[in-house]
């Protein structure tokens, strides 16, 4: 069954020769883009959808989320907005709630958030573990996540659980816990930050994961000038995420290594911290991805459009750069070539906006501009 989408006012493709087209059409066949070009030249198809001048863009690729958890931390948010500071240990509140929850509660939470994401235009989602912190709870978090996306990340090294010594916990994460989680994970991640894991511990976690076939990604430089970005570049990680506090050497390392800088402005919004400087990274030639970091503690948004608006308003990105970072940038972060763009042969995950250009996503913050999502089921 083929579908001709025509009357596209602005079609964002990220094709190298013409990244944005006007008065365009596109043919979807068997879930992939079979043809795209001027609406006047469009071939026939089994079905036809005229979007009447709307903007069409690739579905968002959210390459950094923590969807497997129970409970919420709204009280902590309210306290923080009244002047309290964020410390990494708040994660332990969610760990206790997650451990106490049944599988069906955890899975229902994932399904609810994925439904929100899909409605708001996100068609590829990465999901991390990290609120279990025991062999059984990390394993089941990933087992549940895996039912909904191929992009699952083992984040046993999120924080050292209450009462454990860091060296003992790293031994568990790199040993028995890793073995239990490997069958359900594609990626391995570590929260490399003061109050969580240092450089040597991060290296140990990432190299143990890599030895078992998982690809590294790092939570880096969120709360201060830590070693996370340098470790990510050293081990050839796919992404260094957060990148809020960077030295010139960090920026150079990202640019020369090709490690994607994942920027998560929902976290700065929700913790009232300074935003990362996307302009500095883009000017240095770093590949930038935007993601929600959706989690109950520091960024409880599932909206890529919200993050995109923050990136344009607060981080020095143009609207086009932000849309690229939220689609193709996310795909690069996940080392995917089939999503995040709409070239011939790409997966036909596309978003039809209730607006004539994609820039309206930043121009009209807080407004639901997604008219229709045409895509495979979330995360497949």
Is the four-CA dihedral 41, 45, 48, 51 of positive or negative sign?
negative
Residue 315 tokens, joined: 């981080």
Give the nearer residue to Zn ion in terms of CB position, either 4 or 63. Answer: 63
Q: Taking the complex as a whole, how short is the minimal distance between the CB of residue 225 and Zn ion, in angstroms?
A: 18
Q: Taking the complex as a whole, how short is the minimal distance between the CB of residue 264 and Zn ion, in angstroms?
A: 7
Q: Taking the complex as a whole, how short is the minimal distance between the CB of residue 295 and Zn ion, in angstroms?
A: 6
SS3 87: coil
Residues 285-304 binding Zn ion (CB under 5 A) are 293
Give the nearer residue to Zn ion in terms of CB position, either 157 or 375. Answer: 157
**Residue count, binding to Zn ion (CB under 5 A):** 1
Give the nearer residue to Zn ion in terms of CB position, either 246 or 369. Answer: 246
Give the nearer residue to Zn ion in terms of CB position, either 293 or 349. Answer: 293
Q: Are 350 and 340 in contact (CB under 8 A)?
A: no
Question: Looking up tokens 């992404």, which residue turns up?
Answer: 239
H or E stretch covering 259: none
Residues 340-364: b if buried by 16+ CB within 10 A, e if exposed: bbbbeebbbbbbbbebebbbbbbee
Residues 235-294 binding Zn ion (CB under 5 A) are 293
CA-to-CA distance for 12 and 98, rounded, in angstroms? 40
- Give, in order, the Cα–Cα distances in Å from 264 to each of 4, 147, 261, 316: 35, 25, 10, 14
Give the nearer residue to Zn ion in terms of CB position, either 10 or 293. Answer: 293
Q: Taking the complex as a whole, how short is the minimal distance between the CB of residue 38 and Zn ion, in angstroms?
A: 42
Q: Taking the complex as a whole, how short is the minimal distance between the CB of residue 269 and Zn ion, in angstroms?
A: 14
Residues that bind Zn ion (CB under 5 A): 293
């Amino acid at each position: 069954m083929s579908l001709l989408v025509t009357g596209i006012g602005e079609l964002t493709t990220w094709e190298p020769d013409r990244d944005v087209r006007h008065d365009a059409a596109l043919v979807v066949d068997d879930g992939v883009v079979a043809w795209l070009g001027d609406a006047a030249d469009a071939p026939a198809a089994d079905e036809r959808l005229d979007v009447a001048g709307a903007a069409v863009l690739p579905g968002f690729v959210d390459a950094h989320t923590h969807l497997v958890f129970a409970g919420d931390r709204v009280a902590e948010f309210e306290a923080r907005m009244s002047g309290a500071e964020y410390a990494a240990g708040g994660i332990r509140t969610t760990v206790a709630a997650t451990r106490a929850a049944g599988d069906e509660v955890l899975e229902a939470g994932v399904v609810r958030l994925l439904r929100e994401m899909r409605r708001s235009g996100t068609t590829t989602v990465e999901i991390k573990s990290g609120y279990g912190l025991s062999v059984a709870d990390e394993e089941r978090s990933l087992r549940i996540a895996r039912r909904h996306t191929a992009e699952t990340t083992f984040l046993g090294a999120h924080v050292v659980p209450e009462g454990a010594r860091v060296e003992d916990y790293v031994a568990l994460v790199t040993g028995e816990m890793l073995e239990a989680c490997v069958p359900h994970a594609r990626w391995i991640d570590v929260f490399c930050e003061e109050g969580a894991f240092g450089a040597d511990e991060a290296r140990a976690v990432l190299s143990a994961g890599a030895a078992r076939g998982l690809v590294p990604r790092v939570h880096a430089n969120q709360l201060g000038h830590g070693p996370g970005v340098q470790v990510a570049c050293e081990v050839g990680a796919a992404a260094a995420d957060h990148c809020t506090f960077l030295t010139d050497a960090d920026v150079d390392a990202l640019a020369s290594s090709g490690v994607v800088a994942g920027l998560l402005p929902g976290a700065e919004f929700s913790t009232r911290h300074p935003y990362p400087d996307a302009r500095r990274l883009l000017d240095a030639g770093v590949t930038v991805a935007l993601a929600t970091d959706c989690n109950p503690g520091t960024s409880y948004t599932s909206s890529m459009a919200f993050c995109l608006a923050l990136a344009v308003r607060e981080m020095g990105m143009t609207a086009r750069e932000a849309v690229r970072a939220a689609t193709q940038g996310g795909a690069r972060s996940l080392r995917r070539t089939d999503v995040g763009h709409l070239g011939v042969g790409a997966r036909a995950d596309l978003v039809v906006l209730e607006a004539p250009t994609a820039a309206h996503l930043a121009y009209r913050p807080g407004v639901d501009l997604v008219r229709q999502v045409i895509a495979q089921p979330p995360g497949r």
